[in-house]
Structure 1
Amino acid sequence: MSARISAPWLALLAGPLSFGIAGPLLILPDAAAALGTGIATVTWIVTAFGWGIAVGTPLLAGLQSHRGVRTALLTCAALVLAGAIAVATVPWLPVLIAGSALQGLGTAGFTTMAMSLAGSARAMGLVTSSLAVVGSASPLIADLVGDALGWQLALALPAVSLLGVPAALRSAAGTPAEPSRFDLAGAILVTAMVTALVLVPHFWLPAAITVAVIAVLLAGHLRARPDGFVPAALLRTPVFLIAAGLAFALAVANFGLVYVLPRLLTEQTGWTSGEVGLAILWPLLFGGLMSYVVVAVTAKAPFRAVAVLFPALAAVGLVLAGVSVSPAVLLIAQALTSLAAASGQGVYAVRAGDAAGSHRAAGMGLFNLAYLLGAAFGPALAALL
């Protein structure tokens, strides 16, 4: 049995993933200018990171289940290090895209492991709070790093997660793996499914058709291999499915509002982009910091209560944003949706992990995948609406 890994190390392992999601926001113009291309083209760096975390979440969770935490940690560390070196040293777009994808794969594995190894609601709250807090501050941090050291090093900020690896390795050296044969066909189908889902907001018709076809193939594979890459037992566990579904919905609401809020604030106030960015920082920080307290306080609350609480909080935020003509109310709306998403991620992760039982690592991978897909779909749906 492995020693308990302290929660701050787990937070350090997980939190820097958010640098890859929100960090490039303010440095993409510098990257485009240096590469001699447009903003739309360099945003593929961010898209590649998003693909990496979506695909890496279930894949690295599977590696943890079948080869143990130590092997998974070393694999993730190698992916993050290789990706960071690539984006920091080679100013060529294909390499930057590949390096960003590698960082996404590795940090996704780190985050899933941190959540699966969190031994209490407080530890889980600190892990999910770190993701929210880093995410809220990452645009400004990356901008400062870019000004001081160059935009390429700002793209390598997810490598901060490597600082948590030594402590995790010392504690997880004895963690056993599940003694079952790796389901390669299931891993391929899930990877294809996740890739198609990530592309739905960009190429909705062909991607949606592909998702439907892969879903049929995956359903047939689950009947033939119920103990495979996606344990069929998880899909027959109502608490797990509800927790993952609610996490997806909260992420859609939060990240959708994050996407539209700058435009709404600019229209109402005429603030500059820097002023808008600073204003948005505070409600996002509030949600991230308060979520740690909320996750701990609601640890023993009935599942039905928390299943209603956080969606209701997010709904109030969305209604306020929809009817408001005041920047103060808009920022309050963002604070509510941020608090709901960050707290809900932690609370529902605890319930999903408990419901997963012996399939905890795989369960955390699938749960995180649901949340991350919500983060990807939120801005896309907001743009359509």
Structure 2
Amino acid sequence: MDQLQRSAAARHGGQPGPRRVATPWLALLAGPLSYGISAPALVLDDLARAMGTGQQAAAAGVTAFGWGIALGTPLLAALLARRGVRAVLTVATALVVAGTVLLVLSTRVPALVAGAAVQALGSAGLTVTAMKLADSARRMGAVAASLAVVGATGPLTGALVADLLSWQAALALPLLAVVGVPAARRGAPPPETVPAPFDPLGMALVALLVTAAVLTPHRPLVAGPATVALLLLLVVRTKVRPDGFLPAALARSGRFLAVCALAFALGVVNFALLYAAPDLLREHAGWDGTRSGVVLLAPYLLGGFGSGFLVAASVRVPHRAVAAALLVAGTTAPLLAAATTAVPLLLAAMTLASLAAATGQGVLALRATDGVPASHQAEALGLFNLAYLLSVAFGPAIAVTLSQ
């Protein structure tokens, strides 16, 4: 019998590997990250009253979450590249649980900020892992769609959960992602390469660069020059350590940098319109915030669900054509929103922006790893997502500036 088993294994390429993670589990692993961005939107008043502070101070938790996912994405992607899926799932789950507990128990803003940041670090790790395990356009489309759909429904879901339970429960929604962890662990492949030596200086430079970039829309005179200086130092670091925290193979790849730039631009347009939408609808249609929130579900849900199909179909279209279509859509959306006062056209612009951003995240994530050595694919995904997530800091700031 042993001889028969060995013969069968030889015919089929050796011992069977881990089972493929089902697509719904990947969507569940990634999607709840968007709750951390959008679920607090309609519960900030409750949160501010509970903390005994103003709404602006209470919103610091959302800013901290944005910083955490931007920083956690490259950090956890580096861990993924060096230690494999199981290690990242363990660390990310611990961070999400610890951050959620701190959020739920917090009674002061500093504890709230710390909890949101820790929760975001873990959420970023789970999302990067889901994208790493999404080994086809269809599966990547499902992951991107889950992020967009959850983001679209997040404000309404957060408000309903706060009404039924508490504002703490609304802030705990990203914890839902850990439900998908056991299935991801069962399908986790072993680490693909021998880990490269760790680069603590490179990691510190990336962390400082992310922090400066996130602060740039709020403190441009200080954070802007700091961002440029840190970027130059990071470029120098890639020459000293080509296999460091930022691999030179990525930093010198024109295709990779172009993909990241396009994803960032599409994200900026989408988040700027998302935050400008209530004011535009109030100005042109006289709608209050609640009515606008309900109506806006339609364009952003359409964009989220539609992106899943478009990402899957993108493999049959030349890459240049896909990139051109995304660029046209991302340019048309803000121009249409600025040029019209008709509500249907405003909603069409928002649908177009949502569709372009969500589709771009999925399609361009697949392109970001094209031609990248296997040893750097996890870092490529992490840095690509970092570029996209930085748009969360810039889009709303641009919307507020233009509305003044």
Q: TM-score, normalising length from structure 2?
A: 0.93
User: CA offsets, 1:177-224, max 9 Å, x none?
Assistant: 542111111111100100110000111111012112212221221111
Aligned-pair identity (%): 50
Q: Distance in 2 between matches of 1:36 and 1:327?
A: 38
Asked if 1:364 is matched to 2:385, the reply is: no
Q: Distance in 2 between matches of 1:11 and 1:353?
A: 20
Residues 368 and 380 of structure 2 are in contact (CA less than 8 Å); yes or no, is this contact kept in structure 1?
Answer: yes
Q: More displaced, 99-108 or 375-384?
A: 375-384
Q: Distance in 2 between matches of 1:118 and 1:333?
A: 30
Aligned to 1:91, the other structure's residue is in SS state coil
Q: Distance in 2 between matches of 1:24 and 1:283?
A: 20
Asked if 1:202 is matched to 2:218, the reply is: yes
Residue 2 (structure 1) shift: 4.2
User: CA offsets, 1:92-131, max 9 Å, x none?
Assistant: 2211111110111000111111112211000000000000
2:140 is aligned to: 124
Q: Distance in 2 between matches of 1:275 and 1:136?
A: 15
Asked if 1:352 is matched to 2:368, the reply is: yes
1:337 aligned to 353, 357, 373, which one?
353
1:151 is aligned to: 167
Residue 89 (structure 1) shift: 2.2
Q: Distance in 2 between matches of 1:178 and 1:336?
A: 43
Residue 357 (structure 1) shift: 3.1
Q: Distance in 2 between matches of 1:300 and 1:183?
A: 39
Q: Distance in 1 between matches of 2:282 and 2:373?
A: 48
1:297 is aligned to: 313
Residues 316 and 333 of structure 1 are in contact (CA less than 8 Å); yes or no, is this contact kept in structure 2?
Answer: yes
Gaps of at least 5 residues in structure 1 are none
Residues 238 and 251 of structure 2 are in contact (CA less than 8 Å); yes or no, is this contact kept in structure 1?
Answer: no
Q: Distance in 2 between matches of 1:256 and 1:182?
A: 37
User: CA offsets, 1:247-292, max 9 Å, x none?
Assistant: 0110011111111111010111221211010011110000000000
User: CA offsets, 1:19-71, max 9 Å, x none?
Assistant: 00011000001000111110011010101100100100000000111111111
Aligned to 1:356, the other structure's residue is in SS state coil
2:219 maps to a residue whose letter is: F
Residue 332 (structure 1) shift: 0.8
1:3 is aligned to: 19
Asked if 1:73 is matched to 2:74, the reply is: no
User: CA offsets, 1:282-322, max 9 Å, x none?
Assistant: 10000000000111111232111111001101222222101
Aligned to 1:166, the other structure's residue is in SS state helix
Asked if 1:307 is matched to 2:329, the reply is: no
1:113 aligned to 129, 133, 137, which one?
129
RMSD (CA atoms): 1.2
Aligned to 1:354, the other structure's residue is in SS state coil
Residue 175 (structure 1) shift: 3.7
2:77 maps to a residue whose letter is: A
Aligned to 1:230, the other structure's residue is in SS state coil
Aligned to 1:182, the other structure's residue is in SS state coil
Q: TM-score, normalising length from structure 1?
A: 0.98
2:123 maps to a residue whose letter is: T
Q: More displaced, 341-350 or 173-182?
A: 173-182
Q: Distance in 1 between matches of 2:371 and 2:102?
A: 39
1:277 is aligned to: 293
| Structure label with greater radius of gyration | 2
Q: Distance in 2 between matches of 1:258 and 1:289?
A: 17
Residue 173 (structure 1) shift: 5.6
1:380 maps to a residue whose letter is: A
1:329 maps to a residue whose letter is: L
1:373 is aligned to: 390
2:359 maps to a residue whose letter is: S
Gaps of at least 5 residues in structure 2 are 1-16
Q: Distance in 2 between matches of 1:354 and 1:273?
A: 43
Give the paired residue count.
385
The equivalences for 1:1-385 within 5 A come to: 2-172=18-188, 174-358=190-374, 359-385=376-402
